[in-house]
Structure 1
Amino acid sequence: MSQLLPLVFGVLAAALHGLGALAALDAIFHSRTSQGAIAWSLSLVIFPYLALPLYLVFGGRKFYGYVEARRRGNQQIQHIFSLARESHGGGIRAEFPPGEERFPALERLARIPFSAGNSARLLVNGEATFKALFEALDSARDYILAQFYIVRNDTLGREFRERLVRAARRGVRVYFLYDTIGSYHLPRSYLEPMHAAGILTAGFTGRVKGRGKPFQVNFRNHRKIVVVDGEAAFVGGHNVGDEYVNRHPKLSPWRDTHVEVRGPAVLGVQLAFLEDWFWMTHQAPPLCWTPRPAERPGNRVLVLPSGPADDLDTCGLMFTQVIHSARKRLWLVSPYFVPDEKVIGALQLAVLRGVDVRIMLPERTDQTLVHLAAFTYLEETLPFGIRVFKYKEGFLHQKVFLVDDDLAGVGTANLDNRSFRLNFEITLLFADPDFARRVEEMLAEDFSRCRELDMGEI
């Protein structure tokens, strides 16, 4: 038997090298970037024993199965998507004055146009966000859609659960979706009171009921969405955990931003949730798809979901287009800064056009490696006139941008390649001078709590 061991090990080694070579070809043809193709192919050929398992987990280019489930594989979801698109016509679609139609590319990325008849409220930090969110949950009459990347079994998490349970006991239909990676530590006992109250729950994963491919754990659903009765939607940077309401011993005070929207744009947020829910459950719950203008309409809003199931790199292209559209001012706020070459080039071109380009990042960090990686990209900013600021008071987690005086964005996407290519994200864009002014005032206050980086620090 011992004489056969060298032969067995030799066959296994040859098989691994062969599989490594096949995986290297797959990386060459399917990696989204040339750097990724080179790095993966060399590693797979030279070190297949280590690189092959890593490639199976982290090397996927697309989130397989989701596209078919969403767009091709089921007439029900297609019909709902058609209803959502049709709802943005006939007086609901936003009109722009001649010469101000700057956003057709963004509308094509979103697959629906800007809608009119919305109202929007900025929710600055956790106290304001969860006060408004809990009030909306307590007033729900028909259904609640709740989706978060991180949900913790702590004081805030249990309070959030209690609000959902109370709503369900009133007869409200409640659908709760969480990411299984982001909420890895969420115990099964957290969900038991929900199930007892009749709440339907699902954990977002890469493979379900024979659909998708194995090893898709690198794709995460980073969206934070709550929809109440098809009338109000909440989107932004807050997850459900005590740190988001200033209970973290090292990172508090926690700086974050959410937005509450009422009006036809709610249907776009609702559709993003429905696509994720449909992927996990293969069911489309009955929801209201009739657009309801807000009581005090005035905001033009575009709902732009993005993710690795898209044909295009939607999130990265959104940022690139937003940067290219800037004529006077471009303020970007993100907790992480690991962009790609297209975004860096767009930022440099904006400075050459005379745009006031500012990037706000946190002084403190919750991810040391990502924080250190940012310095590589900062070398491409300060020398070319891009101003970089570090927020000093606590941890900065908001994902916000402001373009000129008439376009602002609030959402879940960070300025990094994970958001650009690997995460499911959602961003609300507001083509509205009044909302842009409110974002300007908010960010001006934030900049007053920052220090500006100089060349010596990079």
Structure 2
Amino acid sequence: MSIPQLITLLAMLLHVAGILAAMHAVMNTRTPQGAFAWALGLALLPYVTLIPYLYLGRSRFHGYVTLHRAHRQRLSQASLRSELSGVPDACMQYAALTQMLGNSFHAGQQLRLLINGDATFEAIFSAIAQAERCILIQFFIFHDDELGRRMQQALLERAAAGVQVFALFDGIGSHALPKHYVETLRQGGVAIFPFATQRYSNRFQLNFRNHRKVVVVDGWLGFVGGLNVGNEYLGLKPPLAPWRDTHLQIDGPAVLDLQRSFAVDWHWVTGELPPLLPPRPAQGDAYTLIAATGPADPQESCSLYFTTAINAACKRLWLTTPYFVPDQAVMSALRLAVMRGVDVRILIPARPDHRTVFLASTLHAYDAINAGIRIYRYQPGFIHQKVILVDDDTASIGSMNLDNRSFRLNFEISALNVDRRFAEDVERMLMDDFGRAVEVTRDEYRQSPYLRRLAMHVARLFDPIL
């Protein structure tokens, strides 16, 4: 067979494979827009789209879904209703979230706002050093750098003291983590594993990442937020430095739900359950709902989490996100909030860490400005925090980005807190952040060169996988 014949045969095989993959995409992709985009690309340009589809196209997995839903079914609806009956009226506007999540608000939290990486890891390391029984620790990213090695040493010291230590990291998020880092922890008595939705590794699967950041010490002190374990989160790696991020410390009954979220992920990976220790009695004033969302949920729970929070706003909605790629539901909720007279402000980065997402975000920002939403770009460095402030009493802090990966492809976790004093702390933090930002106008898009504007529109075509 001649070389031209081989090339022709290969092209035919690629087109057949592309058509088969397009049929798979039509049957399995979560959204009509995503299905259409994949099907069109696979059918017409299989040379370009077939390999990306192997990594990004799969949208279903079964084992984790079964386990996850079975865990939720064990929650008693009667118990949920009885807890809801004791929630103040200010929380009732979020009652739909409790039904969707199979979870409830817990009264009596003591909350501490951790405004940056230094404050966050100082608090986490202090808590770990005082651990007596058990440490649960989960991050999307662990790096083998100064902060990562400090974390490694802290966990080894507690394991040597007889404390049970359970650690999870995401296999793709921590792809650069060397094996010797993990082996050193295991040899020192730390139980540590990578998370994946399939127990057998699939090198063609980049979706369904576990983006959660959870630390629980002795069952009563918990941490959740946007920071990972790496020097860049302390602002030590230009060009994105200084890094702006936020975490939350929780002391109270809601920490039990952080443990449960970790336990479901741990059981899937190992087939075993870590200890579930009782939290301390309620000593604070805040009501907290732990929202653990992900693609295993029957509903698109992360998108609905944002939508519910936006719809609850009567006077103010301030939101910070590193990636502003809203879906139609969230964008419609934001538009309606403006029409209700709500002060809607969104803080996004001025510097890109992912250029395609940054371009798409810029176009979405232009659309938002046209809808009356005020958009600001944070100037000193990269802003990575995921914070929502609703009116004068509600603040959310967690790992959820405002993009399709968080909405539909990643496992996320956030704490929704109803407490005026804590909301005031968040307001002061965000006032400082907005004070370091520049408000965006329509001119950012209009005065961009034509090719850059074209790149923005092309980037937005990839919204379903951004």
Give the TM-score normalised by the residue count of structure 2: 0.89
Report the Cα distance in structure 2 between the residues aligned to 1:448 and 1:55, rounded to whole angstroms: 42
- Is the 8 Å Cα contact of residues 221 and 424 (structure 1) preserved in structure 2? yes
- Is the 8 Å Cα contact of residues 142 and 173 (structure 1) preserved in structure 2? yes
Bigger drift between 394-403 and 27-36 goes to 27-36
Match of 2:22 among 24, 31, 51: 24
Aligned to 2:115: 124
Report the Cα distance in structure 1 between the residues aligned to 2:7 and 2:379, rounded to whole angstroms: 59
Aligned to 2:359: 372
2:348 is the alignment partner of 1:357 = no
Match of 1:262 among 222, 227, 251: 251
Aligned to 1:278: 267
Q: Aligned pair count?
A: 445
Match of 1:174 among 158, 161, 165: 165
> Any stretches of 5+ residues in structure 2 without a counterpart?
446-466
Bigger drift between 141-150 and 271-280 goes to 271-280
Match of 2:190 among 181, 196, 199: 199
Aligned to 1:300: 287
Give 1:237's aligned amino acid: G
Report the Cα distance in structure 1 between the residues aligned to 2:433 and 2:49, rounded to whole angstroms: 43
Deviation at 1:170, TM superposition (A): 0.5
Match of 1:382 among 363, 369, 372: 369
Aligned to 1:189: 180
Aligned to 1:438: 425
Bigger drift between 56-65 and 421-430 goes to 56-65
Q: 1:64 to 1:217 in 2, by over 3 A?
A: farther
SS at match of 1:389: strand
- Is the 8 Å Cα contact of residues 94 and 116 (structure 1) preserved in structure 2? no
2:44 is the alignment partner of 1:46 = yes
Aligned to 2:320: 333
2:233 is the alignment partner of 1:244 = yes
Aligned to 2:98: 107
Report the Cα distance in structure 1 between the residues aligned to 2:154 and 2:416, rounded to whole angstroms: 29
- Is the 8 Å Cα contact of residues 238 and 256 (structure 1) preserved in structure 2? yes
Of all paired residues, the percent bearing the same amino acid is 47
Report the Cα distance in structure 1 between the residues aligned to 2:330 and 2:200, rounded to whole angstroms: 37
2:404 is the alignment partner of 1:404 = no
SS at match of 2:131: coil
Q: 1:53 to 1:252 in 2, by over 3 A?
A: closer
Deviation at 1:244, TM superposition (A): 1.4
- Is the 8 Å Cα contact of residues 87 and 291 (structure 1) preserved in structure 2? no
2:151 is the alignment partner of 1:154 = no
Match of 1:320 among 289, 303, 307: 307
Deviation at 1:5, TM superposition (A): 9.5
Aligned to 2:67: 69
> Any stretches of 5+ residues in structure 1 without a counterpart?
none
SS at match of 1:131: helix
- Is the 8 Å Cα contact of residues 133 and 234 (structure 1) preserved in structure 2? yes
- Is the 8 Å Cα contact of residues 63 and 308 (structure 1) preserved in structure 2? no
Deviation at 1:67, TM superposition (A): 0.9
Deviation at 1:442, TM superposition (A): 1.1
Give 2:327's aligned amino acid: D
- Is the 8 Å Cα contact of residues 94 and 300 (structure 1) preserved in structure 2? no
- Is the 8 Å Cα contact of residues 230 and 287 (structure 1) preserved in structure 2? yes
SS at match of 1:379: helix
Bigger drift between 107-116 and 121-130 goes to 107-116
Give the TM-score normalised by the residue count of structure 1: 0.91
Report the Cα distance in structure 2 between the residues aligned to 1:63 and 1:348, rounded to whole angstroms: 34
- Is the 8 Å Cα contact of residues 176 and 201 (structure 1) preserved in structure 2? yes
Deviation at 1:8, TM superposition (A): 10
Q: 1:98 to 1:284 in 2, by over 3 A?
A: closer
Bigger drift between 40-49 and 106-115 goes to 40-49
Aligned to 2:441: 454
Report the Cα distance in structure 2 between the residues aligned to 1:389 and 1:8, rounded to whole angstroms: 52
Deviation at 1:248, TM superposition (A): 1.4
SS at match of 2:414: strand
Give 1:280's aligned amino acid: V
Give 2:318's aligned amino acid: W
Deviation at 1:93, TM superposition (A): 5.6
Deviation at 1:15, TM superposition (A): 5.0
Deviations 1:217-260 (A, max 9, x none): 22211111111111111001110111111211322221110000
Deviation at 1:7, TM superposition (A): 8.2
SS at match of 2:92: coil
Deviation at 1:3, TM superposition (A): 7.2
- Is the 8 Å Cα contact of residues 75 and 102 (structure 2) preserved in structure 1? no
Report the Cα distance in structure 2 between the residues aligned to 1:108 and 1:131, rounded to whole angstroms: 36
- Is the 8 Å Cα contact of residues 348 and 377 (structure 2) preserved in structure 1? yes
Deviation at 1:13, TM superposition (A): 5.2
Match of 2:55 among 54, 57, 75: 57
SS at match of 1:380: helix
Deviations 1:177-225 (A, max 9, x none): 1111111111111123211211111011242149xx7733222111111
